[in-house]
Amino acid sequence: MKRTIALATLLLATLLVMSGCNTVRGMGQDIEQGGEAIQRSAE
């Protein structure tokens, strides 16, 4: 349950960051950072 809440929070934060991107490159970097954060939380 705790992991699900953390993952949902991370996903929401990632979506908020992505909505602030102005360029495709910036969006790619944000997605990469979000993916890395998900990997860290899964470990």
What local confidence, expressed as pLDDT, does residue 37 receive? 85
The Cα–Cα gap between 36 and 41 comes to 9
Domain count, the chain: 1
Amino acid 29 reads Q
What local confidence, expressed as pLDDT, does residue 21 receive? 58
What local confidence, expressed as pLDDT, does residue 24 receive? 66
pLDDT 10s digits, 5-38: 888 899 988 887 777 656 667 778 888 888 888 8
Tell whether the model's pLDDT for residue 39 goes beyond 80. Answer: yes
pTM to 2 decimal places = 0.44
Closest CA to 34 of 2, 1, 19, 22: 19
The number of beta carbons lying within 10 Å of the beta carbon of residue 14 is 17
